[in-house]
A and B are shown apart, each in its own frame.
Chain A
Amino acid sequence: MILEALDGGLLTTVQDAGRPDWTHLGVPVGGPADPWALSVANLLAGNDPADAALELTLVGPRLVAREGGVLGLAGADLGARVVGGRRLEAGRSYRIAAGEELAFDGADGAGHGRALRGARAYVALAGGVDAPRVLGSRSTCLPGGFGGLDGRALRAGDQVRSGPSDRRPAADGLVWPIEDDATADAPRAPVTLRALPGAATGIGSLTGATWRVAAAADRVGVRLEGHDLPPDIGGEALTHGLPWGAIQIPPDGHPIILGPDHQTTGGYRVPAVAISADLPLVGQLRPGDEVRFVETDSDTAVRALRDQRDRLAAGAAALLEAAGWDRLAASAGG
């Protein structure tokens, strides 16, 4: 399959499992902002869950198929459709014919260019997106300017090709059978994120309030506003390593939930860390969304993550049956 961009969209990048092995050199882990949705898109396309796919942000690209093929769609509903033709829903696989043009420009059909719920959609091409491996990954590293499509976002004229491998015969018409946490809630309902205490005190100051996602929400981090924290909660700390999901408080008192492209070390206080199972929710936050934090414990956090993995495996097994693939369930479980 070959998709040529007529327009790159707001921020379209290639993402796979990222580069967790290079953080000691200052390279961000990278990878999908919503790991759950990347896995679902890949499974629908017959790929391994961590294969390279396109991550679309709020307003997607215009893509014309120079060569047809099957793709899996997951994550936020960005109003995907074949121009002049059918609507493409998240959580399904479709066969796209050569010459068909894909648009992702608004869930409400009115061309507002905004998703009703969620910020990021994933488009997986059967066979994965073909891009060179740099430091072990095909992910676009925007902060380092490498990986994916020459280290930058998709733009008009780029061609996105599927990988050479066809592990499984691609099947269209598949439907993902498991509910998607990050994009399932009613629009405008506050998003509840579970958090654990971090490297500094003060998690209680975060949990009492409803926050609003600021305009500065990207792959590096999601900035929250709407409250003034006590001055001693935020500020500088001795620079230390940071996990994805860390909630750091700069001196201005506006929390930042770190995303996959966050700096590997930082010098602000971190009173809380979002649990791993809720990172997909963080990846789907968009400016204006409301956010609440609840404190949880590590047992609950690990149970939630295990449950998420099991649901992904169950979904993969159901697709296996629907499409008659082998090996799919095993790779999703691992």
Chain B
Amino acid sequence: MPERVGEPVIAPFGDAALLVTFGERADPDLTARAGALARLLDERRPASPAVGRAVPAHATVLVPFDPLAMDATAAAELVRHAVGTMTGASGSDAAGDLIDIPVRYGGSDGPDLEEVAERHGLSAADVIDLHAGARYRVLFLGFAPGFAYLGGLPDAIATPRRLSPRERVPAGSVGIAGEQTGVYPLSMPGGWNLIGRTDAVLFDPLRADPALLKPGSAVRFVPAR
């Protein structure tokens, strides 16, 4: 399907949500558009209480609505109107602050660092330089409370998921899976290659602003010891 800018596909997803699809691939520009639409819809919620919290992802926005208060056609019309008023967001627009995340790389904090280095014919120091030298962008949140999908991992250290997931990955672990890097906000099972760990609290439900990383935030990892 050809992607025409400004004309996403808006389709019902069950009886209480729409899925708005900007494209079929992970692409920074599509992600930025999805994020911009989600923000716009959220800003308009006070005027449309039947519309729920929008959930952006790589190239889509999930738009929940109360089907007893609004039908799918009206919800789609509302989305279409919002799309029509979107300004040209792109992946290079900085929507958030720059957040530094201090990371203790390697050792027991990053048990897979050496393996990642060997796989790419690099030294552990090279992996740290590459990982900490890049600037990342939060694409969207999902998977677990406060978990941010980050774009911008250097290809040279992209590493497939571990074959057997760990039963328990400590909170704050910094990992690589495929072309993604991310931080586990809580202790949970996981299959990412763990290269370090941070003391930063990624998610605290009692904080006024519970998630440290939000869509659009720019992120840098800073080696710490």
Contacts and interface: CB of A to CB of B under 8 A. Distances in A.
A242 B186 CA distance: 21
Contact of A273 (B14, B38, B146): B14
B77 to A, nearest CB: 15
A30 B57 CA distance: 20
A131 to B, nearest CB: 13
Interface stretch (A32-40, A86-94, A141-149, A208-216): A141-149
Given A21-B53, A24-B38, A275 B13 contact: no
A199 interface: yes
A20 interface: yes
Interface string B60-74: 111010011001100
Interface in B168-225: 185-186, 188, 203, 205-206, 210-211, 214-215
Given A26-B141, A196-B14, A298-B72, A305 B26 contact: no
A241 B54 CA distance: 9
A25 interface: yes
Interface residues of B, number: 49
A243 B17 CA distance: 7
B210 A199 contact: no
Given A238-B25, A238-B59, A241-B60, A302 B147 contact: no
Contacts of A240: 19, 21, 57-60, 62
A265 B140 contact: yes
Contact of A276 (B59, B67, B211): B67
Interface in A142-193: 143-147
Contact of B203 (A25, A246, A273): A25
Nearest to B16: A276
A243 B149 CA distance: 19
A238 B205 contact: no
B12 A196 contact: yes
Interface in B132-158: 140-147, 149
Nearest to A272: B14
Given A243-B13, A243-B64, A23 B55 contact: yes
Contacts of B17: 241, 243
A198 interface: yes
Interface in A97-119: none
B11 interface: yes
Contact of B15 (A23, A145, A239, A298): A298
B145 A20 contact: no
Contacts of B54: 24
A301 B72 CA distance: 12
B3 interface: no
Contacts of B118: none
Chain A contact residues: helix, strand, loop or mixed = mixed
A322 interface: no
Nearest to B38: A24
A147 B206 CA distance: 10
Interface in B1-25: 11-17, 19, 21, 24-25
A276 B72 CA distance: 14
A330 B25 CA distance: 47
Chain B contact residues: helix, strand, loop or mixed = loop
A21 B51 CA distance: 11
Contacts of B12: 196, 298
Contact of B64 (A20, A25, A265): A20
Contact of B141 (A21, A24, A146, A301): A24
Interface residues of A, number: 43
A276 to B, nearest CB: 5
A243 B14 contact: yes
A83 interface: no
A243 B63 CA distance: 9
B212 to A, nearest CB: 10
A241 B56 contact: yes
A20 B52 contact: yes
A239 B148 CA distance: 13
Contact of A144 (B16, B38, B144): B144
A239 B203 contact: no
B55 A22 contact: no
Interface of B: 11-17, 19, 21, 24-26, 38, 42, 52-62, 64, 67-68, 71-72, 140-147, 149, 185-186, 188, 203, 205-206, 210-211, 214-215
21 contacts: A22-B145, A23-B53, A23-B64, A24-B54, A24-B56, A25-B141, A25-B203, A26-B146, A134-B206, A135-B205, A238-B59, A239-B142, A240-B19, A240-B58, A241-B17, A241-B60, A243-B62, A264-B142, A273-B15, A276-B16, A309-B68
Given A23-B53, A28-B145, A147-B205, 19 more contacts: A21-B52, A22-B145, A23-B55, A24-B56, A25-B211, A26-B145, A26-B146, A26-B185, A27-B205, A134-B206, A146-B205, A196-B15, A198-B13, A240-B19, A241-B55, A263-B142, A264-B142, A276-B15, A298-B15
Minimum-distance CB pairs A-B, first 5: A241-B62, A265-B142, A273-B14, A241-B55, A301-B15
